[in-house]
Chains A and B, each alone.
Chain A
């Protein structure tokens, strides 16, 4: 592992404004989250441990629960596809798109991190389909050829001027840089897209085992249009998203939404129950649920299994001092922040993403904020172990096993502090500053 991971280089290249934007957005969200959870639950800590237990129950019985979910979904007239990896998921969705629009389907998308994970947009576009993101933040990301830097607020790294510029570059008239004007301009542009779309693609926040229904939360209404206006609705859902019963939503909706946006409930909560029935005028004719594994089964049988409880609320990103400093792109993966620092190496291997497990002060703010009690720092420590030769600290160990030598070595610490490259650099102790930086520290000589 390089001493200076790619992570640090990203921060060096970033402009100062970036951390300021992310830090202040993060701070606001932390306050809102606490207030929302205190309002929703008499005992938020108890709610969280109960939620963790429910998710653990799902994970412990994932196979049978997925089959039961499938049975109920099929009986509602939905189609269910099992996808082992991103390629299988993309191919299944592309097939559905081709059937809906043989000469290239028009596809509208609700916000979905799972489709980011599989790289669906690019896959469909390369095969001649026209894909439009309809969540405002995701729309801006798409227009800019960018990637989301946060799993809930994808353009936390941009401001309103950036967003207005993105729309104007795409030929959409935006009268001013006021958020209301930007939203109105995007809305009228996207209405056309909804009206002409063949296929709507969404993610899923929960899949309910007992009923086979899909639950989606959102604030902009674009998901409702994406999932109901086109003739076909495709859902891409990670296999870990199941909840046993609809009554669990009483706990999980306020927990997820409060943690994500500080609301009690989102503006829209959808329970997708299948294609439109006989005599119904609204809704898609066809609903296809694609169940995405893509490494999750492997994680399920690994020491990082608890990360599969994750609801993708983003609370751990908002509190993380490191995420606040660098924002999401530094993590090089669809899932950034503390959750990504565990999930990326778990899904893709420590060889490629092990440095993310190092990019944490292990402060534990993520664990404290997590609505399903995922001990993220403990998991990061485990991942660090996987990427390290055991016994590589044996010289240090021998030193620490002899207190006389150890004490002698400690006397050198203040001096070592002055010459150690890492310590000098973090404190900006360049040569001309060296003199004033430290003089013989406190205590006995």
Chain B
């Protein structure tokens, strides 16, 4: 019988990239977990937190934490929202109990010990963009090792890969020129590496990079890391 795990699917994925949520469920099923959405979930509180309203952020974060039964394991297909649960909660003084929050890649690599994965359907050169909030998770890099398990996936190195995509939530709306400049540097590096697809842990980064790419007439593909893994199944 499959073990159960909860999924906090995040509002950006729900709103902009539902394929990432679907793929997360498929990937978890493949490693023997039955994924159930956190009931009544909305947001982790990060938008208000980043914009300085800690009071509203704390209320929404506490609500999200309260929806997860104590001791549950919750998988989040986003480094950013995972960081909110693990690190932001400390800064806000929220009580997280003994709920364990996993970013999807961490869950697969560390918790499940995934060390093999079916091959890709076709050969492809991709760039992995590590979302910045991974830095606040304080864990080893799980995603590139996981993607390397996929035969047929050629992971290009672009130098400066740890650089931000320029999204930063409301930052991109407040500083559109700066934000676009940062994204453009990243996309230029991706294109000159001969990659056709950008893979990331976070829908925020993907939607932002895709928006800038399209506005420049680009044709790169953008996929959540769960989508890439799910495509092999």
Q: Which residues of chain A have a CB within 8 Å of any CB of chain B?
A: 3-5, 7-8, 11-12, 19, 23, 27, 30, 321-322, 324-326, 358-365, 367-368, 377-378, 381, 384-394, 396-397, 399-403, 406-407, 410-411, 413-414, 417, 420-423, 425-429, 433, 436-438, 441-444
The reply to whether the CB of B233 lies closer than 8 angstroms to some CB of chain A is: no
A420 close to B173 (CB less than 8 A): yes
List 25 contacting pairs A-B, 8 Å CB cutoff, sorted by A: A8-B175, A23-B185, A321-B164, A322-B175, A326-B178, A361-B167, A362-B171, A364-B136, A365-B163, A385-B54, A387-B52, A388-B51, A388-B53, A390-B54, A393-B47, A393-B53, A397-B48, A400-B60, A403-B40, A406-B42, A410-B14, A422-B170, A427-B214, A428-B216, A443-B19
The reply to whether the CB of B56 lies closer than 8 angstroms to some CB of chain A is: yes
Closest to B212 in A: A427
B175 close to A381 (CB less than 8 A): no
Give chain B's interface secondary structure class: helix
B138 to chain A, nearest CB (A): 11
The reply to whether the CB of B86 lies closer than 8 angstroms to some CB of chain A is: no
B55 close to A390 (CB less than 8 A): yes
Question: Which of B91, B168, B179, B212 interacts with A381 by CB under 8 Å?
Answer: B91
B171 close to A360 (CB less than 8 A): yes
> Given A361-B166, A400-B63, does the pair A425, B56 have CB atoms closer than 8 Å?
no
Most central of A381, A391, A393, A433 by chain B CB within 10 Å: A393
Question: Which of A5, A11, A365, A436 interacts with B214 by CB under 8 Å?
Answer: A436
Q: Which A residues are CB-close (under 8 A) to B214? A: 427, 436-438
User: Total interface residues on B, using CB and 8 Å?
Assistant: 63
B122-160 vs A, Cβ < 8 Å mask (1 yes, 0 no): 000000000011011000000000000000000000011
A414 close to B163 (CB less than 8 A): no
Q: Which B residues are CB-close (under 8 A) to A388? A: 51-53
A428 close to B17 (CB less than 8 A): no
Q: Which B residues are CB-close (under 8 A) to A413? A: 15-16
A426 close to B132 (CB less than 8 A): no
B18 to chain A, nearest CB (A): 3
> Given A390-B54, A433-B215, does the pair A325, B16 have CB atoms closer than 8 Å?
no
Q: Which A residues are CB-close (under 8 A) to B159? A: 27
Top 6 nearest A-B pairs (CB, nearest first) are A422-B173, A443-B18, A388-B52, A361-B168, A413-B15, A363-B132
Give CA–CA (A365, B162) in the complex, Å.
8
Give CA–CA (A27, B34) in the complex, Å.
44
Give CA–CA (A49, B60) in the complex, Å.
33
Closest to B13 in A: A443
Give CA–CA (A406, B9) in the complex, Å.
13
B211 close to A426 (CB less than 8 A): yes
B50 close to A362 (CB less than 8 A): yes
